[in-house]
Structure 1
Amino acid sequence: MSDDARVPVTAPLPWQFDDWARLSGSIRKRRLHHGVLLGGPAGIGKRLLSERLAAAILCGHLIEGEPCGECKSCSLMRAGTHPDLLRIAPEEPGKQIRINQIRNELGEFVMRTSSVAQAKVVMIDPADAMNHSTANCLLKSLEEPAPDTHLVLVTDAPARLLATVRSRCEQLRLRPPAPGQGLAWLTTVAGAEDAADALELACGCPLAALELLRDGGFGQFERVANLMFRAADPGAWIPVLVSEYADLDLRVLLEWIFMFLLDFSRSLTTKDPAVARLRRTTGDYVALTGRSSARHVARVLQRTVAARRDAMSTANPNRQLLLEALMIDWQRGFVGWQKA
Structure 2
Amino acid sequence: MSDAVMAYPWQMPQWQQVCQLLEEQRLPHALLFSGPADTGKKRFADAMLAGLLCEQPRQHLCCGECKSCNLRSQGSHPDLKVICPHEGKRQIGVDQVRVLQQFTGQSAFREGGKKLVLVYPAEAMNAFTANALLKTLEEPAGDTVIVLLSHAPSQLLPTIRSRCLQMNFGIPPEAAALSWLKNYVGDDAQARVVLAEAGGRPLAARAMFENDSLNESLQFDQGLSAVAAGSKSVLQLAEEWQGGEPLTLLEWWLRRLVALIRHHNTGEPVAEGWQAFLGIPPVAVFEHYDEALQLRAKIQRGANLNKRLMVEKLLLEWFALRR
Q: TM-score, structure 2 length as denominator?
A: 0.86
- The letter for the 2-side match of 1:219 is N
Corresponding position of 1:261: 257
2:104 is aligned with 1:110: yes
Corresponding position of 2:198: 202
Alignment of 1:328-339 (within 5 A): 328-333=316-321, 337=323
Deviation at 1:145, TM superposition (A): 0.7
Corresponding position of 1:30: 25
Aligned equivalents of 1:268 and 1:229: distance in 2? 19
Q: TM-score, structure 1 length as denominator?
A: 0.82
Distance 1:270 1:132, change over 3 A: same
Aligned equivalents of 1:236 and 1:9: distance in 2? 53
- The letter for the 1-side match of 2:293 is V
Aligned equivalents of 1:154 and 1:249: distance in 2? 24
CA RMSD of aligned residues (A): 2.8
Deviation at 1:267, TM superposition (A): 5.5
- The letter for the 1-side match of 2:216 is Q
State the Cα deviation string for residues 272-302 of structure 1 (Å, max 9, x = none): 63x4xx25xxxx444x347x53356455434
Corresponding position of 1:159: 154
2:307 to 313, 316, 319: 319
User: Structure 2 stretches of 5 or more lacking a match?
Assistant: none
Alignment of 1:175-190 (within 5 A): 175-190=170-185
Corresponding position of 2:247: 251
Aligned equivalents of 1:163 and 1:272: distance in 2? 37
Aligned equivalents of 2:178 and 2:40: distance in 1? 15
Range with bigger deviation, 318-327 or 251-260: 318-327
The SS at the match of 2:241 is: coil
Deviation at 1:321, TM superposition (A): 2.5
Aligned equivalents of 1:138 and 1:50: distance in 2? 19
Aligned equivalents of 2:227 and 2:6: distance in 1? 46
- The letter for the 1-side match of 2:255 is M
- The letter for the 1-side match of 2:114 is A
Distance 1:175 1:13, change over 3 A: same
User: Structure 1 stretches of 5 or more lacking a match?
Assistant: 1-7
Alignment of 1:183-332 (within 5 A): 183-191=178-186, 192-232=188-228, 236=232, 238-239=234-235, 241-264=237-260, 273=269, 275=270, 278-279=271-272, 284-286=273-275, 288-289=276-277, 292-294=279-281, 297-313=285-301, 315-332=303-320
Deviation at 1:143, TM superposition (A): 0.7
Deviation at 1:34, TM superposition (A): 1.0
- The letter for the 1-side match of 2:26 is R
Deviation at 1:234, TM superposition (A): 5.8
State the Cα deviation string for residues 253-278 of structure 1 (Å, max 9, x = none): 211111123334556777663x4xx2
2:65 to 61, 70, 90: 70
Aligned equivalents of 2:230 and 2:65: distance in 1? 63
2:93 is aligned with 1:101: no
Deviation at 1:195, TM superposition (A): 0.7
Aligned residues: 318
Distance 1:78 1:9, change over 3 A: same
State the Cα deviation string for residues 139-170 of structure 1 (Å, max 9, x = none): 01101012422111111111111111011111
Deviation at 1:180, TM superposition (A): 1.9
> In 2, are the aligned partners of 1:38 and 1:154 still within 8 Å (CA)?
yes
- The letter for the 2-side match of 1:205 is R
Identity in percent:
33
Distance 1:160 1:94, change over 3 A: farther
> In 1, are the aligned partners of 2:5 and 2:62 still within 8 Å (CA)?
no
2:166 to 157, 168, 171: 171
Range with bigger deviation, 232-241 or 138-147: 232-241
Aligned equivalents of 1:168 and 1:330: distance in 2? 40
- The letter for the 2-side match of 1:222 is L
Corresponding position of 1:5: none
> In 1, are the aligned partners of 2:91 and 2:124 still within 8 Å (CA)?
yes
Deviation at 1:62, TM superposition (A): 2.4
